[in-house]
């Protein structure tokens, strides 16, 4: 990666004898919005705390612009952290909270006043200088926490599930705000979440993790369209993941039926995982489908219906704008381009798993 600002090299970290990270490596480019995405306990928050200087690794190095900062205290690093719990000082008003770090740096009153004004405009809270932080909504408190971090002009802003405590509508508003702030201030964002929709919406690059191991890294489209294993396919969006047999190149057997596909290089008559997104399946008349099954549930999700069709002992999930009556026999079709073939997992961290 060109213009790398932050590196983690061969990082090991254990708690109570349990390895959280083992020989972990990561590079982050200048001005990137990188999201660490994975289930609880996968190590993503530990990575953030090591970079922020709140936790020391057992082994390995953290480099900032090529300089080893592994053992520097947090206040000596050109990074700031925004946590899910906003950590605002309740005895200080909004302006005093934002100014806290600047006063520690002994900045002039005029400089601090200008920075407070700039930061509040950036987070759309102009005129809130004298407000009591306890009188603010959750979204407003989170914006103040972000403003407090940004006025210190960090080159890297670390955000540890900062929107997790907000309701859905407010979370979506704050996602758009963060994207706007990132573009305006031109700093590197390293964001931690277990919310895949949040990651897909906001990120330049997503690092999908499980059990302390990077499963896949890439932009939102490549992660969603071309998952590298069953874990990624299952964690990023909804997926139908079913056992198949790769009969030969370009032909896979699913539930006893041979389907044309676009994959090669899996050998002949080998077990594979078959991944099909719910939006890529089409419901047709029962005698016109490759597979035939019974509709067992239909749930209206607003933009589409989530339909489950049972074929033999497998329940297929379909997302469609057209509902099908529960109890009806229907057919399922799919075009070859929308069938993804994967090798069976060789490690436990690659297996399908859900957030705790």
Q: 356: pLDDT confidence band, cut at 50, 70 and 90?
A: very low
Question: pLDDT (tens digit, 9 = 90+) per residue, 129-147?
Answer: 999 998 998 888 888 988 8
Q: Which tens digit of pLDDT belongs to each residue from 97-127?
A: 999 989 988 899 999 999 999 999 988 899 9
**Strand ranges, E, within the chain:** 4-15, 18-29, 33-37, 59-64, 67-68, 79-83, 156-160, 188-193, 205-210, 213-218, 240-248, 251-254, 257-260, 270-276, 282-285, 291-300, 305-311, 314-320, 329-333, 340-342
Strand duo 213-218 + 205-210: pairing: antiparallel
The kind and range of the H/E element at 326 are none
pLDDT above 90 as % of the chain:
74
181 band by pLDDT with thresholds 50, 70 and 90: confident
User: DSSP character for 153?
Assistant: -
**DSSP E strand stretches across 114-225:** 156-160, 188-193, 205-210, 213-218
**High-pLDDT (> 70) share of the chain, %:** 98
Residues 257, 263, 267, 272, CA torsion sign: negative
Q: Is 198 helix (H, G, I), strand (E, B) or coil?
A: helix
For residue 297, the tally of other CB atoms under 10 A from its CB is 12
Residue-range domains of the chain with CATH: 4-225 (3.40.50.300), 239-350 (2.40.50.140)
CB-CB neighbours of 53 under 10 Å: 19
Residue 45 has pLDDT above 80, yes or no: yes
- Tell me the per-residue pLDDT of 236-263, one tens digit each, with 9 for 90 and over: 988 999 999 999 999 999 999 999 999 9
Q: 355, 19, 6: which is closest to 199 by C-alpha?
A: 355
- Each residue of 128-143: b (16+ CB within 10 Å) or e? bbeeebeebeebbbbb
Strand-strand pairing, 305-311 and 291-300? antiparallel
**Secondary structure element (H or E) that encloses residue 135, with its range:** none
Confidence of residue 162 (pLDDT cuts 50, 70, 90): confident
**What are the CA-CA distances from residue 296 to residues 104, 148, 238, 267, 304 (Å)?**
63, 52, 18, 36, 17
| Residue 52 · residue 64 · CB < 8 Å | no
**264, 304 contact by CB (below 8 A):** no
Please tell me what DSSP assigns to residue 287: G
pLDDT single digits (tens) 67-82 = 999 999 998 999 998 8
Residue 2 pLDDT: 54
Q: Give mean pLDDT, residues 145-155.
A: 89
Identify the three-state secondary structure at position 113: helix
Count of CB atoms situated within 10 Å of the CB of 152: 19
Cβ-count burial 12-41 (b if 16+ within 10 Å, e if not)? ebeeeeeebbbebebebebbbbbbbbbbeb
CA 263 to chain centre: 27
């Amino acid at each position: 990666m060109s213009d790398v600002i932050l590196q983690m090299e061969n990082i090991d970290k254990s708690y109570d004898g349990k390895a959280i990270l083992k020989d972990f490596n990561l590079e982050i480019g200048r001005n990137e919005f990188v999201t660490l995405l994975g289930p609880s306990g996968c190590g993503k928050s530990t990575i953030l705390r090591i970079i922020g200087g709140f936790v020391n690794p057992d082994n390995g190095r953290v480099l900032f612009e090529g300089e080893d900062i592994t053992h520097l205290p947090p206040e000596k690093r050109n990074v700031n952290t925004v946590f899910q719990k906003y950590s605002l000082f309740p005895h200080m008003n909004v302006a005093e909270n934002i100014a806290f770090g600047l006063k520690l740096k002994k900045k002039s009153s005029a400089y601090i006043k200008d920075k407070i004004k700039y930061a509040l405009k950036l987070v759309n809270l102009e005129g809130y200088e004298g407000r009591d932080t306890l009188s603010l909504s959750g979204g407003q408190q989170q914006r103040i926490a972000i403003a407090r971090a940004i006025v210190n002009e960090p080159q890297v802003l670390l955000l540890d599930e900062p929107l997790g405590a907000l309701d859905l509508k407010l979370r979506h508003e704050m996602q758009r705000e963060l994207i706007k702030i990132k573009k305006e201030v031109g700093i590197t964002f390293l964001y931690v979440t277990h919310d895949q929709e949040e990651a897909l919406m906001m990120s330049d690059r997503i690092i999908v993790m499980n059990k302390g191991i990077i499963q896949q890294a890439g932009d939102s489209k490549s992660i969603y369209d071309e998952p590298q294993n069953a874990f990624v396919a299952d964690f990023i969006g909804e997926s139908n993941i079913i056992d198949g047999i790769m009969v030969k190149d370009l032909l896979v057997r699913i539930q006893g039926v041979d389907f044309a596909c676009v994959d090669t290089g899996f050998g002949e008559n080998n077990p594979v995982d078959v991944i099909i997104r719910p939006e890529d399946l089409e419901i047709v008349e029962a005698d016109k489908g490759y597979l035939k099954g019974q509709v067992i549930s239909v749930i209206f999700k607003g933009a589409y219906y989530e339909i489950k069709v049972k074929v033999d002992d497998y329940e297929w999930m379909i997302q469609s704008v057209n509902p099908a009556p529960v109890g009806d026999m229907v057919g399922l079709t799919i075009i070859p381009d929308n069938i993804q073939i994967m090798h069976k997992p060789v490690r436990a961290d690659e297996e399908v798993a859900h957030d705790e």
